[in-house]
Amino acid sequence: MNEPTVWQRLQKRNTAKLCLAITAFVVLAAVAGPFLLPSGYGDLTSNQFAPPSLSHLFGTDLNGRDVLFRVLEGARISLLVGGAGALISFFVGTAYGLISGYAGGKIDAFMMRGIEILYSVPRLIIILVFINAFDSGLKHWFAALHWDTFIAYSRIIILILCLGLIEWLTMARIVRGQVLALKSQQFVAAARSLGQSHVKIVTRHLLPNLVGVVVVYLTLTIPAVIMDESFLSFLGLGIQAPQASWGSLLSDGAQVINPVRSYWWLLVFPAAVMSSTLLAFNFLGDALRDALDPRQRK
């Protein structure tokens, strides 16, 4: 087995390495950045709409807060929602695809028809109805349980849950296809004829072989969830002030664009950070997919 591993193939691509570095940098900056900036950058000051300068690299916003600080804070929430949402979608999608592919026959046909239907309804619109129906309910529930720290985060929690529950369709399809292919292979037939239980076949033989594909689609789901979250926040229906995500920052930035005076830094910097992060994730996902693609191994 002298075939290069996926990791080695990925290492050969310089752009993929660059994208990995960008994502790592953004994650690191989001986690550590707000601590490294001078204290008070997130406070309300009278220094409104200051253009970018040495002390405020990205300028300041309507309330005199440093835009770099806000962007990093937004990165925390956007990445948290993206990561956690993708993780939920990973569990749901893998489970759905596994069951559908492994069961086969009528169950499979039925489950796949369900996915087709879900593809065709405006999921984000229905999810909006969900979020607004359950948000205050969750708040009351936390209050009743005296989990006071969670009350401020109820919006984020509901966002993560809902977005995770809509972005699993592609994952389920891919996993199912893979399971169908694996199921017909000889080692699975051998395991079955040896009398292994279904659970063991799934966990010992199928799941380890699915890791590759699943990781690729996990990488591609993270930017999708981040995009959905900022879509909702941009409309004012996602993250609520004073918390910020990239979407809500962009919404603030888009509002102050007018013919009289444009505060371009409020729009350009969050847009640049968000777009380059999403680009890096998408590029990385594509590169991983190519690296895993058996057709490219010739």
Interface residues with other proteins (CB under 8 A)? 113, 117, 119-126, 128-130, 132-134, 136-137, 223, 227, 230-231, 234-237, 247, 250-251, 253-254, 257, 259, 262, 264, 267, 271, 274-275, 278-279, 281-283, 286
Two structure tokens written together for 69: 């600080």
CA angle, 128 as apex, 123 and 131 as ends, to 5°?
120
CB 285 to other proteins: min, Å: 10
Looking at the Cβ atoms of 201 and 228, the one nearer to other proteins is 228
CB 5 to other proteins: min, Å: 25
Q: What is the 3-state secondary structure (H, E, C) of 247-279?
A: HHHHHHHHHCCCCCCCCCHHHHHHHHHHHHHHH
CB 180 to other proteins: min, Å: 19
- Cα gap 256→294, rounded to integer Å: 50
- Work out the end-to-end distance of the chain between its first and last CA atoms, rounded to an integer number of angstroms: 14
CB 84 to other proteins: min, Å: 20
CA angle, 75 as apex, 74 and 77 as ends, to 5°?
65
- Cα gap 260→214, rounded to integer Å: 50
Which of 221, 285, 233 has the alpha carbon at shortest distance from 87? Answer: 221
Q: Are 60 and 50 in contact (CB under 8 A)?
A: yes
Looking at the Cβ atoms of 113 and 198, the one nearer to other proteins is 113
For 98, list phi and psi in degrees, rounded to 5.
-60, -50
Looking at the Cβ atoms of 97 and 223, the one nearer to other proteins is 223
CB 140 to other proteins: min, Å: 8
Looking at the Cβ atoms of 135 and 196, the one nearer to other proteins is 135
- Cα gap 269→266, rounded to integer Å: 6
257 contact partners, CB below 8 Å, separation of at least 6: 263, 264, 267
Looking at the Cβ atoms of 165 and 202, the one nearer to other proteins is 165
CB 149 to other proteins: min, Å: 22
Looking at the Cβ atoms of 37 and 231, the one nearer to other proteins is 231
Q: Tell me how far the alpha carbon of residue 194 is from its chain's centroid.
A: 41
CB 296 to other proteins: min, Å: 12
Looking at the Cβ atoms of 129 and 199, the one nearer to other proteins is 129
Looking at the Cβ atoms of 12 and 204, the one nearer to other proteins is 12
107 contact partners, CB below 8 Å, separation of at least 6: 99, 100
Q: Are 72 and 60 in contact (CB under 8 A)?
A: no
Q: Tell me how far the alpha carbon of residue 15 is from its chain's centroid.
A: 21
CB 211 to other proteins: min, Å: 24
